[in-house]
Structure 1
Amino acid sequence: MTSNARVVVIGAGLAGARLARRLEELGASGGTSGAAAVSVELVGEEEHRPYNRVLLAEVLAGRYAPEVIALPAPSRLTRARVTGIDRATRTLHCADGSVIAYDTLVLATGSNPVLPPLRGLFGQGGHELPEGVHAFRTMDDCLGLSKAVRPGARAVVIGGGLLGVSAARALAVRGAQVVLAQQSERLMERQLDPSASRLVHRHLTDLGVEVHTECRVRDVRCVGGAVRSVEMSDGYALDADLVVLACGVHPRVGLAQDAGIAVHKGILVDDELRTSDPHIRAIGDCAQHEGTLYGLATPALEQADVLAELIASEAGAAGNANSRYTGTRSLTRLTLTGQSHSPFDLAAFGETEPRPGDDVIQLADATRGTYRKVVVRDDRLVGGVLVGELGTVGALARAWEGAEPLPADGAPLLHLLTNDGGS
């Protein structure tokens, strides 16, 4: 890559905004010439300035105003919808007719919400959701829900994963009558073990949320284009003023696919976050590295930092040419807060379910609603889950990330599990 390289980043989410800002910092000096080594343009579809999507539930709960979760924006932010990539000419074509040239292109296109195949969801073959039915992925989704919710409103949240639990909690805090419908047998089953899931269930129930597990929604019923109820697979109907779809996400790979870039579930990248086109990189939710799609904030930020170092170095700026992305050992952390209600904290990392032969240490306090558990295999900490008080999570996560053998007597591990000064 030459100096004054044109780097264009598609996607103004957490990964794209972080990359653009880091490139501006690293590329600010072009060496003896004094000129900027990298010219960065961030292209985003949304009318809002870049924001931290992880905190949308806090905006919905009324804890934060939208501007509070805004991210630092780079100096060049273009609002446009990219419709095509011309790899031969290294240009992007946008819906408004504009064309953007690049030397290096970075795809940080993120992911789209999964819209379940429910009868009545789109009516006469249309693509617009009925009035009262909301996905929960963007700031516009969040603001639409915030405007629609009111005390006493009947809300049905479909999906009991991380996003569904956050949405149900936020709506309950806003005074809605909330029903959460989860198809699998427990809440947040991808992150939590059964004991931790039960505590989350209890927390939501204490807030007035009606939780149904092993429950599949099959139909959305509308009158005059507005939702009125949802029907379960057993025929039972729930009245609804609002329906929130929190059924997961899938990577946005359409632009890459149309341009002939290698895609599996996500856009395939190597340790330099390079796609099958040497001039195109990918990071964040849309990227698939070593068979893994992360879909979490920490890996996205790590990928952005690695790629910033590489691109800056290639352009002759102060980057690290040896920087590589080798994967992320990611911790899931969720704090559910809002208005006068006390916060509910949980964290999970690694393997929370033991294999035969593993050692397990558990501490539970039913009165306080706290739970701590770690899994040890071959004298190494391989996973853990904490609900309630998270004072030990920092020390435990560091022990897990280090993958160092634990002392044989186990006392230091018990200390990590019980010492609340460890965060």
Structure 2
Amino acid sequence: MTSTARVVVIGAGLAGVTLARRLGELGTPALVVGDEEHRPYNRVLLAEVLAGRFGPEVTALPAPAALTRARVTAIDRDRRTVRCADGTLIAYGTLVLATGSNAVLPPLRGLFTAERELPEGVHAFRTMDDCLALSEAVRPGMRAVVVGGGLLGVSAARALAVRGARVVLAQQAERLMESRLDPAASALVRHHLEGLGVEVHTECRIRDVRTAGGAVRSVVPADGYVLGTDLVVLACGVRPRVGLARRAGLDVGTGVVVDDELRTSDPHIRAVGDCAEHAGRVYGLAAPALEQAGALAALLAGSGTARYTGTRSLTRLTLTGPGRPFDLAAFGETDPRPGDHVVRLADATRGTYRKVVVRDDRLVGGVLVGELGTVGALARAWEGAEPLPSAGGPPLHLLTNDGGS
């Protein structure tokens, strides 16, 4: 393949590796450039590795046919080359940015040492190296504070508790996973964590990290109460990695701006996954990354006229621990607007909760906790955006197990 036809993918995460694999299946080989020492892995499973449920090898993705380990430092759009940290130049015909995202490190006093490093005992939770360092550090009975109560923070708190740590989860918002769950579902997540021994504090903003001898000793919330700790896990969300794109002069919003063909402002450069911003939205989830990779593979291989018009993604979370697993699914708009029709079914004894939001005879969102037998039918009805059959009353059939068959 000549350099003018060559596809080069920067990033060996789920989006980049999936794109390269699908391109290979379509007869268009691609070179993947990744900067992590580990073989490509599925970061969705990192919490299970931290919990000790899986070994790191279980997270491995099928390796692309052509993979080089290097850190790309610059893009020369005129010459269509990328420069690596070791001085190597790689020519491309089409360049795909699949650079992913970085963990957000909150502006806490004392978070960094004089060398701009995290103190001993303070960890981000984003990469395999983060996960392995945490796994090595955690011990039964150890005090741990998880900062952030979103999907990642909840998963990290559960994993540390399963490993025997005494965990405090500090969430700045008024409830856990507030961007995805309604108050009732969030309360069930909190109840599950507390059942594992996690101490949950909502509306709790951590202000300071205090160290002694270079190691963390406590964190201080805004109310001044000192929480002694041996371990701090920062799970405050992620931010798209757009440095390369910005230095190359590409259009960047929150992420690298792309159109329905995943093209950036340079027609020879595309972007997929966590770093891509499509129609004003950065997803940061696995399902959109996979959908983008599939659409782009078809476009680059000339095997179709696929376009990416956005993803209606469903969030799934399974929390394991003592007793049966805690299953959760959420999609669309879980908070109703005035005039929406809301149907709820709850069983406190069994710890199950189901809710759907219907607007103008269309399913616009829902959340299920516990038994997820209906999730398949609900997801199909939501993704199809078709009018629901009218039966003259509340659409209770959407929440019955019969609907999931």
Counterpart check, 1:228 vs 2:211:
no
Matches within 5 A, 1:125-204: 126-204=115-193
Query: Quick check: 94-103 or 410-419, which moved more?
Result: 410-419
Counterpart among 289, 306, 323 of residue 323 in structure 1: 306
CA distance in structure 2 between the partners assigned to 1:163 and 1:73 by the alignment? 26
* Deviation of the 1:414 alpha carbon: 1.9
Matches within 5 A, 1:274-423: 274-313=263-302, 319-320=303-304, 322-338=305-321, 340-409=322-391, 413-419=395-401, 422=404
Matches within 5 A, 1:66-105: 66-105=56-95
**1:14-42 Cα distance to aligned partner (Å, 9 max, x none):** 10010010011101xxxxxxxxxx33111
CA distance in structure 2 between the partners assigned to 1:71 and 1:153 by the alignment? 32
Question: Kindly tell me: are residues 64 and 175 of structure 1, through their superposed partners in 2, closer, same or farther at Cα, counting changes over 3 Å?
Answer: same
Matches within 5 A, 1:239-250: 239-250=228-239
Counterpart among 35, 50, 65 of residue 60 in structure 1: 50
**Aligned residues of 2:72 and 2:84 also touching (Cα < 8 A):** yes
**Aligned residues of 1:373 and 1:384 also touching (Cα < 8 A):** yes
Matches within 5 A, 1:12-31: 12-27=12-27
Structure 2: give runs of 5+ residues left out of the alignment: none
**Aligned residues of 1:390 and 1:420 also touching (Cα < 8 A):** no
* Deviation of the 1:136 alpha carbon: 0.4
TM-score where L is the length of structure 2: 0.97
* Deviation of the 1:410 alpha carbon: 6.0
Structure 1: give runs of 5+ residues left out of the alignment: 28-37, 314-318
Partner of 1:33: none
The one-letter code matched in structure 2 to 1:326 is T
* Deviation of the 1:213 alpha carbon: 0.3
What count of residue pairs does the alignment treat as equivalent? 405
In the TM superposition, structure 1's runs of 4+ consecutive aligned residues that sit over 4 Å from their partners are: 1-4
CA distance in structure 1 between the partners assigned to 2:393 and 2:55 by the alignment? 45
TM-score where L is the length of structure 1: 0.93
**Aligned residues of 1:131 and 1:226 also touching (Cα < 8 A):** yes
**1:61-92 Cα distance to aligned partner (Å, 9 max, x none):** 11111111111111111111100001111111
**1:393-422 Cα distance to aligned partner (Å, 9 max, x none):** 011000111111111116794223111671
**1:68-117 Cα distance to aligned partner (Å, 9 max, x none):** 11111111111111000011111111112211111110000011111000
Counterpart check, 1:10 vs 2:10:
yes
Partner of 2:256: 267
**Aligned residues of 1:5 and 1:39 also touching (Cα < 8 A):** no
* Deviation of the 1:2 alpha carbon: 7.7
Partner SS for 1:145:
helix
* Deviation of the 1:224 alpha carbon: 1.0
CA distance in structure 1 between the partners assigned to 2:60 and 2:166 by the alignment? 30
**1:249-269 Cα distance to aligned partner (Å, 9 max, x none):** 111000000000111111010
The one-letter code matched in structure 2 to 1:19 is L
The one-letter code matched in structure 2 to 1:51 is Y
The one-letter code matched in structure 1 to 2:96 is V
CA RMSD in angstroms, aligned pairs only: 1.5
Partner SS for 2:274:
helix
* Deviation of the 1:5 alpha carbon: 2.4
CA distance in structure 1 between the partners assigned to 2:252 and 2:18 by the alignment? 24
Counterpart among 37, 52, 57 of residue 47 in structure 1: 37
